[in-house]
Amino acid sequence: KNQVEQSPQSLIILEGKNCTLQCNYTVSPFSNLRWYKQDTGRGPVSLTIMTFSENTKSNGRYTATLDADTKQSSLHITASQLSDSASYICVVSGGTGGFKTIFGAGTRLFVKA
Amino acid sequence: KAGVTQTPRYLIKTRGQQVTLSCSPISGHRSVSWYQQTPGQGLQFLFEYFSETQRNKGNFPGRFSGRQFSNSRSEMNVSTLELGDSALYLCASSLAGRSEQYFGPGTRLTVT
């Protein structure tokens, strides 16, 4: 069964600190993996997209890594800011029996001053 | 280039009524996907349209339907509303289904 699991479910960190969010998936065959940031009440905004051949991609203070062998990805946020408070959603595309896009449940990040 | 727009942004309906939500994709994008987002379930895929044809469908009852027009604008309809239909409905557009998706701001539907 194609699944995407994210951890932790929620996270509280102090402003200026770093954090890492995890995403494990079972989607196969794999096409691509995306990380989205979603502010409360708004639509998700793409942070990074990676294909099978890519194992790291950065977008400012956001760095995503991908290990296609272990089917794991992480999103590292450096020097967190209050505006980083949001939900971070891992999305994996691929699968057999037709191309599918599977969304993880998200990690809710709270950055405190 | 203008982003994905959705109308209305907020909607309050009563159980049993029906509702139509609208999505205008980014100019040039031919694929439009719809998602339902609730606090407990996260994002759930409803359906995808490409060139006026439904290409994929999620696991939702027949009360949920959609269509796409020749200008790629899309509408989704929910009939016989239930309390559990209260959610944020998101529309995403892309050039061609498997490419990068861009989300609209969503329509917040509340069913009372």
DSSP string, A48-98: EEEETT--EEEETTEEEEEETTTTEEEEEE-S--GGG-EEEEEEEEE-SSS
Predicted pLDDT at B101: 87
Across the A:B interface, residue pairs with CB atoms under 8 Å apart total: 44
Q: Which residue of A has its CA nearest to B99?
A: A32
Predicted pLDDT at A98: 60
pLDDT at A5 over 80: yes
Mean pLDDT of chain B: 93
Mean pLDDT of chain A: 92
Contact A42 B105 (CB under 8 A): yes
